Structure 1
C-alpha cells in the first residue's frame, strides 16, 4: 500500500505498510514535525496506517522505522514507493504532492572536467576538486564559485550539471567551481577561526596559483552557509554569497541545536553580526530556506538585518525541508539570478 494524499485542505498524506510476521511496531521518520520519529502507524488487519499533515511542502522525504518482535528497530525504505531521494546518510523515500515541479535542467547532461589541486599535507582540506566547463584551458581567467560540501553538492544536488546547463544555455558566462570538502565538518564549519584562516592562507592561494580567477563567489548549505559567511567576514571579501538553509543559530530561536559542536561559537558570531559589532563589506547575497525548516526564523532575521544595513540581499522561501533535493530545486531560482547579477 503506497503513501497517498487523502486530503487537500489541509494537505494530509496516509502512509501504509503491509504487515509481515515479526513486526511489532512501525513509525514514520520524517523532517516536517518534532519529534522527527512519528507518527506511529496503527495496525488494522494486515495493514499499518498513519496520517501526517504535510502543510507547507510540495514533497516529503521519509523512512519507516520497523521494530521487530524482540524490540530491535531498523530504518527501511517504503517498498511501495519506488521514488528515492539521495543524501549523505543514505536514500529516503520521496513522495511528491500535486504542486511539485522538478527543475527542467535535470534532463540536461553534465559535461566538463574536474582537476585536483593539492593544498598541503596535514591541511584541513588537503585537496580541492576544481570543475571547468568543456573546451576551457586551465590558463584561461574565469570567475570561480567556492562551494562548501562540494562533493556532496555535486553528487546529491547535481550542482555541476546545473552549472554546465546554465553556461551551455547562455544563462551566464563560463566559470569554474571549486569543490571544498571538510575534514571535521561540525567543528570546521561552526565559525572556527582556524578553518577560515586555512581557507585564506592555504586554499585560496593554491587555487589562484593553478587557475587564474577574475572573481570569487561563495556558496554553502546549512553549516556550510554559515562558514562561508564567516569566511567573508573574517577572511577574504567575496563578490557574492549564495547561502542555503544557513545555520545562523540564535539561543532564543534554536535551542534544539544547542548540543551541536560549536553552537556557542556560531551564536556568538551571528550575534555580533546582528548587533553591528562586525561590519563586513556588503556584497550581493542570495539566501534560500525551506518553509518548514527550523532555520527559517534565523534566516529571516539575518536577511532583514543585512537589508537594513545596505546589503543587496534576498531570501527565497521554497516549499520543502532541509535536504539536498530542496537545495537542488532552488539552484535555478536562487543561484542563477546571483550569478547573472555579479558575473553577467
Structure 2
C-alpha cells in the first residue's frame, strides 16, 4: 500500500447506529465499490460513496455480534472481490477469505483456546447408490482401538466443518473435560453437494444404509448414532435421521427446510420442489414411533429463521425432543462453530448419556 493509501486507510468503526466502512482510492482508479455482505441486509445501503480519495459507507448497525464482508470493486481491470486492506481481522469461509467486524460484546468460544485429547484420522470410501462413493474420514481419540465401543457422530460436509468450524477440536476438548464421553466423529464429504443434499433418495438410502452399516462394521458403536449438518446438510441430516432406526439424535444448523410460502427466493434452485415436498411431509407428521433428540440453531436474522421455527414446532408436536436456539450471527461456519457449545453438547449428552 502506498503512503497516500495508508493515510486514507481506515478500519471499520462501530458507532451507535452505524458501522462505517472506508476503502482508500487516492489515485481514483475505481469507478464503483460495493459492500458484499449477507443478503438479509438491505441492498440499497451497500454502495460506497467516493469522498476525499477514498470510498465510504455507513451501514445501519444490524442486531448481530459479528459481520463478515468483502468489497466488490470496479476498476480498469474489471470487477473483482477483495478483503478490506485496512482490517486485519479475517476469517476463512466456504467461499474464501472474508473480512470481519466483531461488534462490542462478541467473544469467541472459550474451548478454542483449550487443549483436547489427542486424536487420529482414518480415511476410506463407501459405495452405495450414488454415482460416486462417499469419502469418509473418521476422527477417534488416539488411544481408542477400533473394537472399543464408542458413540458416533456422523457429519455432513464433515471435512469443511472441521476446517472452518474446528469440529474435531471441539469434540476433543469436550472429551478432555469429561463433558462428553469418548466418541468418534465421521466426517462425510459430499462429492456432488447440491444434488446429494437436496433430499436425494439415492443419497439418503446410501447414508442410512451402506454408510452407517460400514461405520458400524469398522468400529464398535455403543450408543444411538447422532447426525449433524448445516444448511442443506442440516436438512439432509434430519431427513436421514427420521428414516434410520440406528439414529437417536440430529443437530441441524441453519437448516434449509424450504417451504414454498416462506422461501420463494430459492425457487430457482434446481431441487427446490423436491425439498419443498419432503419438508411438507415432515411438517405434516403428527406422531412418531421413532422419537429423536433434535437440536436446531439458526441466526435470528437469517432467511432460514422462519422455516427453522416452523420445523422446530412441527417436530415437537410429533413427539420429538426439540431444542431450538436463535443466535446473533448469520449463515456461516463461524456462527455454527460458536453455537456448538452448549447446543450440540446438550443434544449429544441427552442422546448418549441420558438415553444411551
Aligning the two structures, in what range does the TM-score lie when normalised by the shorter sequence? Answer: over 0.9
CA distances 1:31-69 after superposition (whole Å, capped 9, x unpaired): 153566951000111121111123221000000011104
User: Is 2:35 the partner of 1:33?
Assistant: no
* Structure 2 counterpart of 1:323: 332
**Alignment check: 8 A CA contact 1:188 1:195 kept:** yes
Q: Which residue of 1 aligns with 2:277?
A: 268
Worse-matched range after superposition: 252-261 or 292-301: 252-261
Tell me the alpha carbon deviations over residues 151-197 of structure 1, each in whole angstroms, 9 at most, x when there is no partner: 00000000000000000011111000000011111111001100011
Matched residue SS, 1:220? strand
SS state at 2:100 partner:
strand
How far apart are 1:2 and its partner, in Å?
0.7
Between stretches 153-162 and 224-233, larger displacement belongs to: 224-233
Once the two structures are superposed, residues 205-250 of structure 1 have per-residue CA deviations (whole angstroms, 9 ceiling, x without a partner) of: 2111110112200000000010111112234451111110000000
| 2:207 aligned residue | 199
Change (3 A) 1:124 1:316: farther
Unaligned runs of 5+ in 2: 1-9
1:12 matches 2:21:
no
Q: Quick one: distance in 1 between partners of 2:133 and 2:79?
A: 36
> Size of the alignment, in residue pairs?
340
Corresponding residue SS for 2:151: strand
The alpha-carbon distance between structure 1 residues 37 and 125, as it changes in their structure 2 partners (threshold 3 A), is: farther
CA distance in 1, matches of 2:175, 2:296: 22
Q: What is the Cα deviation at residue 338 of structure 1? A: 1.1
After alignment, is 302-311 or 163-172 more displaced? 302-311
- Kept in 2, the 8 Å contact 1:61–1:95? The answer is yes
Q: Which residue of 1 aligns with 2:87?
A: 81
Indicate conservation of the 8 Å contact 2:284/2:314, yes or no: no
**Normalization by structure 1: what TM-score?**
0.94
Give the alignment's Cα RMSD to 1 decimal. Answer: 1.8
Equivalent in the alignment of 1:44: 51
Give the superposition deviation at 1:289.
0.2
Q: 1:37 to 1:103 in 2, by over 3 A?
A: farther
Within 5 Å, give how 1:239-318 maps onto structure 2: 239-276=248-285, 279=288, 281-318=290-327
1:164 equivalent among 122, 147, 172: 172
d(CA) in 2 for partners of 1:26, 1:163:
41
Q: Is the 8 A contact 1:30 1:37 kept in 2?
A: no
1:20 shift after superposition: 4.1
Q: Closer, same or farther in 2 for the Cα pair 1:38/1:182, shift >3 Å? A: farther
Q: After alignment, is 34-43 or 106-115 more displaced?
A: 34-43
For residue 147 of structure 1, what is the aligned residue in structure 2?
155
Q: Distance in 1 between matches of 2:292 and 2:191?
A: 28
Question: Does the 8 A contact of 1:124 with 1:198 survive in 2?
Answer: no
